[in-house]
Structure 1
Amino acid sequence: MSDYIQATSYEPGFSGPIENVTTPLGREAILACTVHNLSTYKVAWLRVDTQTILTIHTHVISRSRRVGVTHSDHRTWFLHIRELRETDRGWYMCQINTDPMKSQLGYLDIVVPPDIIDRGTSTDQTVREAASVSLTCAATGSPQPQITWRREHSKTIPLADGSQVTSLEGPVLNITRVSRQHAGAYLCIASNGVPPTVSKRIMLTVEFPPVITIRNQLVGAALGTDLVLECETEAFPKPPQRISGTFRSVLRLSLRRIKNSDYGSYKCVSKNSLGDTEGTIKLYPMPPPALENKHGLTL
């Protein structure tokens, strides 16, 4: 154990420990070693794992242009490592060339912002309704990034138990029974406290056969009147009809000046690559609306 109290024999020694340093990738790290009573002795910096001498006194021994050394009145000796790489992470030794040699260690940690990597990360997915799907997200960084899943536009994520959440943690998002409510864009967000936080957008497309909704299956109309019959259908891929929502199409049939031959049943049919479905609307005659004369009497 190093003795940080100045000795009465005026032997050189260390005045305090080397503080560990944490620096972002690409920046400059500076480790400080403070000594006393150095006299004619010299301070050297070494890389511990490779036993490489980096500096001796004011001279740089390392061949790397990224390494430098400075001092403050020969008391505090600073090891500079510029343009930090992940390989610079590790233990560094400050050494005084006494006999026996005196040394102490300091640790340099390199923090790296998160990066989402394509390998191991899902691309856009297309699945059938009621199937299962797993979205994966792989990220590198130091510390190891945390993965958060969110939906675009702050939509909630429906869970299997019927609840809904705004976010989920973990590298894999499992949806055990996909519904059309799951369709849309998902954001895989990677963060580790080192800016910037990064994200990737993954589009989930849910396919399902058409479903027809008819609000009025029985429609009455008088002769000579105009009428529009409507069916609503939900499907994906979308049928080639007019779109009024994400999955919704509206089928409209306009009837003008209704005649007796117009009364009866009408079928609306919706098809996509997964199937087809139909609905029926029955049009029946109604008496014309009663008219009132100028005296308020019904004619």
Structure 2
Amino acid sequence: MAEPHWLPRPQFRPRPQVNVLQLATAILATVAVTMLVTATPTLAEIPAKGKHTRLDSQQTAQDDSDFPRFAEPIANVTVSVGRDALMACVVENLKGYKVAWVRVDTQTILSIHHNVISQNSRISLTYNDHRSWYLHIKEVEETDRGWYMCQVNTDPMRSRKGYLQVVVPPMIVEGLTSNDMVVREGQNVSLVCKARGYPEPYVMWRREDGEEMLIGGEHVNVVDGELLHITKVSRLHMAAYLCVASNGVPPSISKRVHLRVQFPPMLSIPNQLEGAYVGQDVILECHTEAYPASINYWTTERGDMIISDTSRAGDKYETTSTVSGYTKYMKLKIRAVGPNDFGTYRCVAKNSLGETDGNIKLDEMPTPTTAIISEMSLLNRSYGKKTS
């Protein structure tokens, strides 16, 4: 099995590989078992036992068939932090030889044949038919990441290595990430998002509502990286932004940052001149934009504030407003317009940053009845001339 591209190579100085089981045999023969469970032995530089003689290739091949051999490579294992890991070592023709598991980077013995040597309570060992040897690591931690070696105490020692990759899902670093922010229109603003995990997370910014962002004069859907910088922020930038961090390890994570932009009220009037006839109901409209939200009201031409009471049926005035974001749509309904209702009405909006107003003129129109009677009278006179 090919190693993933991100697997690091063992980082330790070349040194003679130690036959752990020969060392362990000597330890077990001279030291009480109680000492084995009170200290974790580490490998030492010791010479291999036995005499070494030069053999010809034919004899070497013949003798090699009598030695244990690894049936397959030790597979690299990838596991999320907190999960359990299992590494397998399959040895054929083991005979009377013994198997050990070793942590390569620290050169620490973890198990010797049927015995777990490590004091780490998360490590255990199982075996099957004197052929398959399984190293179990419960609730894996980031410190468990590294190379693990399965050894057989032949002379010279035989071994295989496998890499345990511990991946960590992304997490937002709250202390280094922006929170909800309020700024004045026209200022520069920077939103920062920091995330950690393994592999290193990819971070991006986008608007929660899915709308495009105006960044550097361009409309974009996503900004890559930890920093979202907006030059001369405007009310159009007011929105909730999502910082999204992902590294291929589920789940991805996001944080919501609400950007609020302060500006004084602005006002627009769809129709500055309205006409109505006596007895008609008429509606005047006024649209305002402001943040913080403005206080809006209507006044008459004399400057009196118009107060409506919707609980009273048939009240002369009825004011309503609809809010959408930082925009407010105001309406003034005047019922049964009378001669004294014609004139100028003022729409006012004010907040802590300023105040603005606009005027709507209401003019009198001839009533439809008068117009119809006049037209019918003209028609009748014209018809009478023709018949005579």
Structure 1 residue 194: Cα displacement: 1.7
User: For the structure 1 residues 256 and 144, does the alpha-carbon distance in structure 2 shift closer, same or farther, using more than 3 Å as the test?
Assistant: same
Higher strand fraction (1 or 2): 1
Query: Which residue of structure 1 aligns with residue 107 of structure 2?
Result: 51
Distance 1:118 1:298, change over 3 A: farther
Task: Give, as a single letter, the amino acid of the residue that structure 1 aligns with 2:194.
Answer: A
CA distance in 2, matches of 1:217, 1:162: 36
Stretches of structure 1 that go unaligned for 5 or more consecutive residues are: none
Whole-Å Cα distance in 2 between the matches of residues 298 and 59 of structure 1?
Answer: 120
1:283 matches 2:362 = yes
Distance change in 2, residues 1:295/1:280 (3 Å): closer
Query: In structure 2, what is the Cα distance between the partners aligned to 1:284 and 1:292?
Result: 20
Residue equivalent to 2:323: 244
Q: Check whether the contact 1:233–1:249 (CA below 8 A) recurs between aligned residues.
A: yes
Residues 87-124 of structure 1 deviation map (CA, whole Å, 9 limit, x = unaligned):
11011121222333333321100112222221211111
The DSSP-based 3-state class of the residue aligned with 1:181 is helix
Stretch moving more, 30-39 or 217-226: 217-226
Task: Give the match for residue 174 of structure 1.
Answer: 229
Instruction: Name the SS of the counterpart of 1:8 in structure 2.
Output: helix
Corresponding residue for 2:372? 292
For residue 290 of structure 2, what is the aligned residue in structure 1? 235
Distance, in Å, in 1 between the alignment partners of 2:335 and 2:148 is 90
Q: Name 1:274's counterpart in structure 2.
A: 353
TM superposition shift of 1:251: 4.0
- Is the Cα contact below 8 Å between 1:68 and 1:79 reproduced in 2? yes
Unaligned runs of 5+ in 2: 1-16, 18-59, 297-320, 380-388
Q: State the aligned residue count.
A: 294
Q: Which runs of 4+ in 1 moved over 6 A?
A: none
Report the Cα offset of residue 60 of structure 1: 0.4
Contact 1:291 1:298 in 2 (8 A): no
Could you tell me how far apart the structure 1 residues matched to 2:144 and 2:248 are?
Answer: 20
Q: Deviations over 1:240-273 (max 9, x none)?
A: 3434322222344454555666554443221111
AA at the equivalent of 1:192? N
What letter is aligned with 1:8? Answer: Q
* 1:17-28 matches, cutoff 5 A: 17-28=73-84
The structure with the greater share of residues assigned to helix is 2
Which one-letter code corresponds to 1:75 in the other structure?
R
Question: What is the TM-score when the length of structure 2 is the normalising length?
Answer: 0.68
Tell me the C-alpha RMSD between the 2 structures: 2.7
Q: Which amino acid aligns with 1:207?
A: Q
Aligned twin of 1:8: 62
2:212–2:219: 8 Å Cα contact kept in structure 1? no
- Indicate the residue corresponding to 1:149 in structure 2: 205
Describe how 1:186-197 pairs up with structure 2 within 5 A.
186-197=241-252
Q: Would you say 1:92 and 2:148 are equivalent positions?
A: yes
The reply on whether 1:128 has 2:128 as its aligned counterpart is: no
Contact 1:95 1:104 (8 Å CA) reproduced: yes
The change in CA–CA distance for 1:40 and 1:298 in structure 2 (over 3 A counts) is farther
TM-score of the superposed pair, with normalisation by structure 1: 0.86
Please report how far the alpha carbon of residue 228 of structure 1 lies from its aligned counterpart in structure 2 after TM superposition. Answer: 3.5
Tell me, in whole angstroms, the C-alpha distance in 2 between the residues paired with 1:41 and 1:235: 83
Aligned pair partner of 2:171 in 112, 115, 123: 115
SS of 2:176's equivalent in the other structure is coil
The one-letter amino acid of 2:104's match is V
**Matched position secondary structure for 1:74:** coil
Q: Distance in 1 between matches of 2:359 and 2:373?
A: 39
Q: Which has the larger radius of gyration?
A: 2
Return the alpha-carbon distance in structure 2 between the equivalents of residues 93 and 228 of structure 1: 84
Q: State the shift of 1:38 in Å.
A: 2.5
1:160–1:177 contact (8 Å) kept in structure 2: no
> Structure 1 stretch 257-266 or stretch 277-286: which is displaced more?
257-266
- What one-letter code is carried by the residue in structure 2 that aligns with 1:292? I
